A and B are shown apart, each in its own frame.
Chain A
Amino acid sequence: MARVVLDDLTKRYDGGALAVDKLNIDIKDGEFICFVGPSGCGKTTALRMIAGLEDVTSGEIRIGDRVVNNLPPRDRDIAMVFQSYALYPHMSVRDNMAFGLQLRKTPKGDIDTAVEAAAKILDLERFLDRKPGQLSGGQRQRVALGRAIVREPSVFLMDEPLSNLDAKLRVQTRAEIARIHTRLEATMIYVTHDQVEAMTMGDRIAVINEGVLQQVGTPKELYETPLNRFVAGFIGSPSMNFIDLKVSNVGGVITLKGEGSELRPDDAMSALIRDSGLDTVTVGFRPEHLEVGAVDGPGLGVTVTLDVIEFLGNDVLVHGSSEGHDIVAIVDVDNQLKVGDSVVLSAAPRRLHVFNPVSLARMIGN
């Protein structure tokens, strides 16, 4: 069990490409943190630097009390689960799990106990003598987890461990990993591009884009107060809608208008927008916070022409457009909307996120 600190961690490849730019994260002992971001954002590179598989260009990695920048992977007290599982194909499941312990000259009896225990947790007891080639994808993934567990490392590193599994197995294995985390109380760093995975598993989530850390926080914090437009759009499914609105200040009364949309801000929002002096702002609102019908008083109203309606059961997912902006909303099935309808969708002021259209930083919300 250990705290992991990334201090200005930077990776620049030989060609000059900057993969990770001054990453600062303090991961608490026993915490489950997810690194999430689109493909190529540098999250895997960051993980590989922590593992010792990639050289650090500058900055520092501390695991526990030690700076590990120059330690080989085996001396960092970590275990890693690879996206491809990376099981040794010529060894049995038992040997795959025991390999790391054998190399550490652990007594045979202790190895057997550790392997049996891990196999029991992961329900692999029947497969111990099989080769990885004789197992299904889900079973292989569990062997890869088992190989990490038997080592009892202070930090678990997981690189998109579920992305090769089908949807059902993914949900099962997700729960399995969460259980293992509770049981072992180990620090886990989990890399994924799937924000749903990150939201459901992580104690905290670090959102990374283009090598730069965008925001670290609990899933709730990221959902409710995204610090910039990228985080707002990345977290949540379906993603947040954005529209640009022009600010008009008539005698101190602020109104925001777009083509087919209008926002009447409440007092706090008015003050902020007035003080910012901006003449355009980007307003974000989540599909699940939209309601059919106009609102009286402060709030946002968008007139949308519907072009696709997806039935979800209790709700419907409607896609439409409002003067060039695509708008998605989840509304009650009772509204009985049809393709081609033109409806007003509205959101309360506390559901709105306002971003500076230039810096993309958050101005106000909630």
Chain B
Amino acid sequence: MSAVQAASLPAVSTPPKRRFRVRPSRIVINVVLAAVAIFWLVPAIGIAIISLRPESAFEQSGWWTVLTAPAQLTFSNYKTLFSAGFQAGGVLDSLTTSLAITIPVTILVTVISSLTAYSLVFGRWRGRTVVFLLIVAMLVLPLQMALIPVASLYNFIGDTTGLKIFGTVIGVIIFHVAFGLPFGIFLMRNFYTGIPHDLLEAGRIDGAGEWTLFRKVVMPLGLPAAASLAIFQFIWVWNDLLVALVFLANNTHETLTLFLYGQTRFLSSNYWIISTGAMISIVVPLIVFFAFQRYFVRGVLAGAVK
């Protein structure tokens, strides 16, 4: 009623202010968010700048002096690190070793999880729920608990069959895949339960077998979940130190995390190498993230039914 009255009044009263008014709560939220973002970014920026300053500068002044004297920035640290080439123990060799572990693990976990989830959701065998619950139970198993048993299992296999797994990249891959699968299956299964069964039935009537249904119907619809899983998995394995430390012991090739860990010293760590190596190790996950990001499209299922 008041709106009707207001509309009938002559338009001489207050001009519309609304467009220019910013709610105070909005400002507060933005300030807080900006503060958090800066607080979060400072260490990363610090590391980035340290990696771009000469080695000698580290002990003379803080990285923030760059703000007043930007001329000191140089790529010399990167040049020195890269000049070692692909020698074992160098940063480029570590980069390749990390990739040689992370890429197969990510692919294997994503593919095996998707296939298992398909069977758990759309398969027609008894005991699917029990198997799923067992898999969920495995989620709570701490990785540390398995380090020694798995190491002795690897050694046992090596002793009895001559197949050397312990201390090899393959051994690390197997360990990571085994520990990545419970979460992967959990995530994919929960996503697949949202796909209407009607779609698969329509596919069956159209003439698709299980494999075609998986490849042409379920997998494309599950892409957002598969992309998130791949990103998570990639970053976890990429950042892993513990498993590599145990299972890559005595291997001449080491992962990036092992390489960085090796640069810490009791009294004086090689901060210029650590910061430069850390920057290199940040770049790869960032590339992966931005490459897969476009699959995080909402509403992929819109229009399927109804």
Contacts and interface: CB of A to CB of B under 8 A. Distances in A.
A103 B208 contact: yes
Interface in B183-198: 196, 198
A82 interface: yes
Contacts of B198: 82, 84, 86
B39 to A, nearest CB: 41
Nearest to B301: A89
Given A74-B206, A100-B207, A86 B303 contact: no
Nearest to B208: A103
Contacts of B1: none
A302 interface: no
Interface in B157-201: 196, 198-199, 201
Interface residues of A, number: 31
Contacts of B303: 87, 89, 131-135, 140
A51 B305 CA distance: 19
A41 to B, nearest CB: 20
Contacts of B300: 89-90
Interface string B276-306: 0000000000000000000000011111111
B204 interface: yes
A87 B207 contact: no
A237 to B, nearest CB: 26
Chain B's interface size range is 20 to 34
Contact of B201 (A79, A82, A151): A82
A104 B205 CA distance: 12
20 contacts: A53-B205, A73-B201, A74-B207, A84-B304, A84-B306, A86-B196, A86-B304, A87-B305, A88-B216, A88-B217, A89-B301, A89-B302, A89-B304, A90-B220, A99-B203, A99-B208, A99-B216, A100-B205, A103-B206, A164-B306
Interface of B: 196, 198-199, 201-208, 212, 216-217, 220-221, 299-306
Given A53-B205, A80-B205, 12 more contacts: A52-B204, A86-B305, A87-B303, A88-B199, A88-B216, A88-B304, A89-B303, A99-B206, A103-B207, A132-B303, A147-B206, A164-B306
Interface of A: 51-53, 72-74, 78-80, 82, 84-90, 99-100, 103-104, 131-135, 137, 140, 147, 151, 164
